[in-house]
Structure 1
């Protein structure tokens, strides 16, 4: 491995650490894609979770492009997720003092400092060096109007989804009970259709018998007006459970049945995942199963149920290669 590649690998490791830092004062950053995923790529994609109003309502995907001369030439940075901000133009370009080759950027500058500089700029706009003079003027002269327009831009399902995915990474990073297999990439439009959006695809690794050792793939289908309309959950990997029907559908969770009664933005993806794990492993609390016969088997002959579920898991839910 060349010295440049070793440097890139070390930088990516440091970026990954930003996502596991529980210090509330630190920058929140979730790495999505990097040269570790594709050795031919020079792009790093990740989501920044700002701290300040109004930007803390969303997660913003940022692209870091490493030139062939890196680290002797500064990386190029742009926002993939649209953001209403004085220092970001309509193409996502952002002016960060740290990346000014002639002033502050050095070959020793870590990428974590670049991400931190971007996050700080989101939270504290630099009006004197604004890329959009009109937005800068609005920010200083009519902050309420600025906040309203920024929130309107963040109201899209796409941006809400990016934030929900980031919260999944944060919540389950320690035990990997759930992890995201297929993430939304804001650089493409492959998620946008006229009907439902089927994103993301996740892996569930139960920690309790009879499913221990299995990896179950499932998807969450999002209506175009998410989160106003109830998402749908479907297991792609068969699971021997009363709450999942033969087709893989799972709609009997209380959170899904009551979705319309919750205030918008009061529940998130991770709440759905928490209920999936709870009701699969706590059948005593299941009132309306999709497959009543399996629930009856669990009640009347738990040994037979456990044996069948374990065999089913061993045969159909084998760990996936990564």
Structure 2
């Protein structure tokens, strides 16, 4: 490397090390090549963005003609951003191209990249797929960018949990084909105090087809199978639209717990009980919320019947299902258990 480039990059390297941003752990630079031809940069995801909490590694190559030509910079850490390739990490930023000036420094570059994370320019994209999602479905873009920040950049969690609605989602498969959702039982319902786990599978043709979702946590609800966790909800079927998001789905499922539709059931036994004996339905749903979803203790009477049949050697889950489906009549529930 030409002597002028070496002297310049050494000075800028020290400038970054002594900078206020480095002391605050916002930017960082390390030497890779003792000839100062390659550096390793790092920037923190800006606050109040999907990248917050993430740490983004950068490959920085210094040309012999530096500082008259810009450094060659790309993201090593994968990131979901309109101006950065989700595949190669290539960056679309004017100061790394025709707007470069010899007076600019490494610190200028790192701070400009951090600013780019906070203010994307989707009309001048590096990644057309990301830019299209950014413009057409901003909420989905934010969720996806946050997920990538969690998986690849070490953000503490991927979640769109809110204290009000108490919903969240976590990654299961790093290929983004499976997620684990969770919703809180709504207040003033039999499900209050419970936490309900959901299996979420993302099809290849998402968002044009809905995600496939089922309850992992057992639940007593007319529109959810008490056996398989399958769900009867229109937006997961023919009423799905590509503009819908995972957040909308989870909120809709939470709303379903608060407003069952027994005339369009997934579980006919539960739906019949809901219509014929609403009070028994509430007590049964409350007991299931306690046993399976961690809600506070419910009916002592129902709990005693469960314990009595379990003492006879029957499986606990089978006992709960039998009593629930037989209106808590011990005799007919016992007959059902024996027949199975």
The TM-score range, normalised by the shorter chain, is 0.5 to 0.7
Contact 1:216 1:317 in 2 (8 A): yes
Q: Could you tell me how far 1:252 is from its partner in structure 2?
A: 1.5
Question: Aligned in 2, Cα 1:115/1:294: closer, same or farther, shift over 3 Å?
Answer: farther
Greater Rg over alpha carbons, structure: 2
Decide which of 228, 231, 243 is 2:223's aligned counterpart: 243
Distance 1:124 1:205, change over 3 A: same
Deviations 1:160-201 (A, max 9, x none): 9963735998975342421013266xxx5x44xxxxx3x221
What does residue range 131-210 of structure 1 map to in structure 2 within 5 Å?
150-151=128-129, 163=141, 165=143, 172-182=161-171, 188=174, 190-191=175-176, 197=177, 199-208=178-187, 209-210=189-190
Q: Distance in 2 between matches of 1:301 and 1:89?
A: 55
Measure, in 1, the Cα distance between the counterparts of 2:216 and 2:123: 44
Q: Report the 3-state secondary structure (helix = DSSP H, G, I; strand = E; otherwise coil) of the residue aligned with 2:50.
A: strand
Give the distance between the partners of 2:132 and 2:123, measured in 1 at CA. 18
Q: Summarize deviations over 1:209-261 as a string: whole Å, max 9, x none.
A: 2111111110222222222334321111111111111343334111123246x
Pair 1:80 & 2:82 matched? no
The Cα shift of 1:310 comes to 1.7
Structure 1, gaps ≥5 residues long: 1-5, 19-27, 35-43, 45-62, 68-75, 127-134, 136-148, 192-196
Partner of 1:291: 267
Aligned residues: 222
CA contact (8 A) 2:197 2:215 kept: yes
- Assess if the C-alpha contact under 8 Å between 1:30 and 1:166 holds in 2: no
More relative contact order in 1 or in 2 (CA 8 Å, sep 6+)? 1
- Distance verdict in 2 for CA 1:238–1:301, change over 3 Å: same
Q: Which residue of 2 is the match for residue 117 of structure 1?
A: 116
For structure 2, list consecutive stretches of 5 or more residues without a partner in the other structure. Answer: 1-22, 27-43, 60-73, 97-103, 147-157, 296-340
Q: Quick one: distance in 1 between partners of 2:86 and 2:222?
A: 52
Residue 120 (structure 1) shift:
3.0
